[in-house]
């Protein structure tokens, strides 16, 4: 084994140990790494950064973006990461597909938002910096604000729900001062909108804040709720408690509940595909066992006072015709208020292929 090959092996091994990508130290290193990429042994996920191909494929999209971020933080120690990149750094729940590029804060230039560029810059006159696991990023408040401007409403709602839930929860559940903490957190975000140049951007942030609900337990449920709201249905009550004779100590908490004008209670249950395909989520149960448990849960909810229970999948949020059909068939009440696709950056709405969809959600720690 020659010196260059041995050095590359060492660079890759050290990088993998540090959960980052490798950066070639010399031009010869770079050429050798490119050759290994052509042979399928390495991947080049970002200009100048490399990783073992098998190792890279074992990572989900958020882990991949964090590997890139750790490398860039080492190469560019003054960078402050922002937007969806900061959402990953903070460990907020989000859909993998928003991690298609790196976002950094920039106090000197205007916005530079181009899906074709590996690094996009978000202008902010004053950059609120925090350090998360050794990485410089904008604060969680600024992260929520910029995601509201950059992303589609369902994507942004997932990030915001997750951030507010973290603010409200302590180690043993909801904090006694959760309401005050939530109001203060929202107030700080609204204070930051004063620095935005476009009134539509302020409206985009306000819209996300208005519908944020920290009771949402995961990003998939938040994304689905965002799709429901975009289709002009009434906001559901989240995690409503239903008593159950079968579960006298716990009962059931329904994902979405609507009460109609005539008093009917409609329950929507969200099925993340992970429970069918992820052994960790399935708890070794077979698909048939999972379906049987779902059917028993539905019967208990009906016995506890629900008039109708229907199921929603992530696929419904992606294909709105089938979503609307399910909601209308169930009798979910409509909301006459439309959600506007506003914001100075939202014209750059993400257009990702569906290859990363399904159960591709990052769970908050």
Token look-up 């609307």 returns 324
State the pTM of this model: 0.86
| Residue 93, C-beta contacts closer than 8 angstroms, at least 6 positions apart | 158, 159, 161, 162, 218, 219, 222, 361, 362, 363, 364
Residues across the chain = 365
Q: Indicate the burial class of 248 (C-beta count within 10 angstroms; 0-12, 13-18, 19 or more).
A: exposed
pLDDT in tens, the chain (365 residues): 578 889 999 999 999 999 999 999 999 999 999 999 999 999 999 999 999 999 999 998 889 999 999 999 999 999 999 999 999 999 999 988 888 899 999 998 878 888 888 999 999 999 999 999 999 999 999 999 999 999 999 999 999 999 999 999 987 788 989 999 999 999 999 999 988 888 888 999 999 999 999 999 999 999 999 999 999 999 999 999 988 766 677 778 899 999 999 999 999 999 865 443 344 444 445 555 666 577 777 888 888 889 999 999 999 999 999 999 999 999 999 986 666 544 334 334 433 333 333 335 555 54
Token readout for 86 is 């900061």
**178 and 91, same structural domain?**
yes
Q: Is there a contact between 33 and 51 (Cβ–Cβ < 8 Å)?
A: no
pLDDT at position 348: 40
Whether residue 351 is contained in a domain is answered as: no
**237 and 203, same structural domain?**
no
| Beta strand spans in the chain (E) | 42-46, 49-52, 94-95, 102-106, 119-123, 129-132, 135-138, 169-170, 173-174, 237-242, 252-259, 265-271, 308-313, 361-362
How many angstroms separate the CA atoms of 203 and 194, rounded? Answer: 12
**204 and 94, same structural domain?**
yes
How many angstroms separate the CA atoms of 311 and 330, rounded? Answer: 10
Q: Is there a contact between 275 and 231 (Cβ–Cβ < 8 Å)?
A: no
Token look-up 């559901």 returns 236
How many angstroms separate the CA atoms of 225 and 240, rounded? Answer: 15
pLDDT at position 173: 85
| Residue 136, C-beta contacts closer than 8 angstroms, at least 6 positions apart | 73, 77, 78, 79, 80, 81, 129, 130
Give alpha helix (H) positions in 76-152: 83-90, 140-150
Q: Supply the DSSP string of 142-163, one letter for each residue.
A: HHHHHHHHHS-HHHHHHHHHHH
* Angle separating helix axes 199-211 and 153-168, nearest 10 degrees: 60
**203 and 243, same structural domain?**
no
Whether residue 313 is contained in a domain is answered as: yes
Give residue 307's domain range: 233-330
Whether residue 97 is contained in a domain is answered as: yes
The conformation of residue 85, written as its DSSP 8-state character, comes to: H
**244 and 198, same structural domain?**
no
How many angstroms separate the CA atoms of 211 and 202, rounded? Answer: 15
Q: Which of 323, 314, 321 is nearest to 356 (CA)?
A: 314
pLDDT at position 108: 87
Whether residue 339 is contained in a domain is answered as: no
**240 and 212, same structural domain?**
no
pLDDT at position 290: 61
Token look-up 């410089």 returns 136
pLDDT at position 360: 53
Q: Which of 66, 117, 70, 125 is nearest to 96 (CA)?
A: 66
The count of structural domains within the chain is 3
Pairing of strands 361-362, 94-95: antiparallel
Whether residue 135 is contained in a domain is answered as: yes
**237 and 213, same structural domain?**
no
Q: Is there a contact between 154 and 227 (Cβ–Cβ < 8 Å)?
A: yes
**33 and 98, same structural domain?**
no
**187 and 118, same structural domain?**
yes
Token readout for 334 is 């409509």
**35 and 160, same structural domain?**
no
**170 and 100, same structural domain?**
yes
Dihedral, 99, 81, 209, 160 alpha carbons, nearest 10: 50
**108 and 50, same structural domain?**
no
């Amino acid at each position: 084994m020659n010196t260059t090959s041995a050095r590359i092996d060492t660079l890759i091994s050290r990088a993998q140990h540090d959960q980052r990508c490798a950066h070639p130290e010399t031009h010869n290193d770079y050429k050798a790494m490119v050759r290994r990429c052509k042979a399928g042994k390495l991947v080049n996920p970002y200009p100048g950064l490399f990783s073992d191909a098998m190792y890279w494929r074992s990572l989900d999209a958020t882990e991949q973006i964090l590997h890139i971020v750790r490398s860039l933080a080492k190469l560019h120690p003054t960078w402050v990461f922002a937007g969806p990149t900061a959402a990953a750094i903070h460990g907020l729940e989000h859909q993998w597909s928003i991690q298609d590029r790196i976002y950094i804060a920039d106090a000197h230039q205007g916005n530079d938002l181009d899906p074709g560029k590996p690094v996009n810059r978000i202008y902010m006159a004053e950059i609120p910096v925090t350090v998360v696991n050794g990485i410089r990023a904008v604060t969680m408040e600024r992260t929520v604000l910029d995601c509201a401007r950059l992303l589609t409403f369902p994507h942004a709602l997932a990030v915001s729900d997750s951030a507010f839930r973290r603010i409200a929860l302590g180690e043993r559940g909801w904090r006694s001062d959760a309401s005050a903490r939530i109001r203060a957190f929202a107030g700080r975000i609204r204070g930051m909108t004063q620095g935005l140049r476009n009134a539509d951007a302020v409206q985009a942030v306000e819209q996300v804040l208005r519908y944020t609900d920290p009771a949402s337990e995961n990003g998939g449920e938040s994304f689905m709720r965002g799709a429901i709201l975009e289709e002009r249905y009434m906001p559901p009550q989240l995690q409503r408690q239903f008593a159950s004779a079968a579960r006298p100590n716990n009962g059931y908490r329904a994902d979405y509940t609507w009460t109609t004008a005539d008093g009917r209670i409609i329950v929507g249950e969200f099925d993340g595909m992970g429970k069918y395909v992820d052994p960790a989520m399935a708890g070794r149960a077979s698909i048939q066992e999972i379906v049987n448990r779902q059917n028993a849960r539905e019967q208990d909810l009906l016995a506890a006072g629900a008039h109708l229970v229907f199921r929603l999948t992530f696929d419904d949020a992606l294909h709105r015709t089938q979503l609307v059909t399910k909601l209308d068939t169930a009798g979910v009440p409509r909301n006459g208020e439309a959600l506007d696709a506003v914001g100075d950056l939202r014209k750059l709405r993400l257009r990702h292929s569906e290859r990363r969809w399904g159960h591709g959600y990052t769970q908050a720690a």
